[in-house]
């Protein structure tokens, strides 16, 4: 992998490498963290709104694999790289987060790959099915 290029969606992630999600009593917690990654045509969106939408799609896919979804989120942490983009980011966030949950937003100077403008981490909790 080129260290100057963001990962494609085929790259393994922390959640993909995790064998089991942590449990608290009967509850199961899933916590994917996602950057926008490259689009199918190998490009990175150039603005935070499009990057946030793409990162959201990756978060939703990871949660779905674990049997959870955005409404199961109990915590969302967000790391944009530009304070001037917070309004654009929060408008996109409001498109997919419709409930209140713990939230943290911190502006950081950069992420691991140049050009990535935001990372989103979600902790979702569900009760395992009785069986």
Can you list the alpha helix ranges (DSSP code H) found in the chain?
14-17, 48-65, 86-96
Q: What b/e sequence results for 47-58 when a residue is b if at least 16 CB atoms lie within 10 Å of its CB, and e otherwise?
A: ebbbbbebbbeb
CA 27, chain centre distance (Å): 21
Domains of the chain: 26-126 (3.30.1330.40)
Q: Model-level pTM?
A: 0.74
**What pLDDT, in 10s, does the model give residues 17-65?**
333 444 444 555 666 767 777 777 888 999 999 999 999 988 898 889 8
């Amino acid at each position: 992998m080129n260290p100057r290029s963001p990962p494609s969606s085929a790259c393994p992630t922390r959640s993909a490498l995790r064998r089991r999600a942590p449990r608290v009593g009967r509850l199961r917690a899933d916590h994917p963290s996602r950057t926008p990654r490259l689009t199918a045509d190998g490009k990175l969106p150039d603005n935070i709104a499009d990057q946030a939408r793409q990162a959201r799609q990756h978060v939703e896919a990871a949660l779905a694999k674990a049997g959870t979804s955005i409404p199961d989120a109990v915590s969302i942490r967000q790391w944009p790289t530009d304070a001037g983009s917070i309004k654009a980011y929060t408008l996109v966030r409001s498109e997919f987060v419709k409930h209140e949950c713990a939230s943290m937003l911190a502006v950081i100077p950069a992420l691991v790959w140049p050009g990535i403008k935001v990372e989103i981490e979600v902790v979702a909790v569900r009760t395992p099915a009785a069986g």
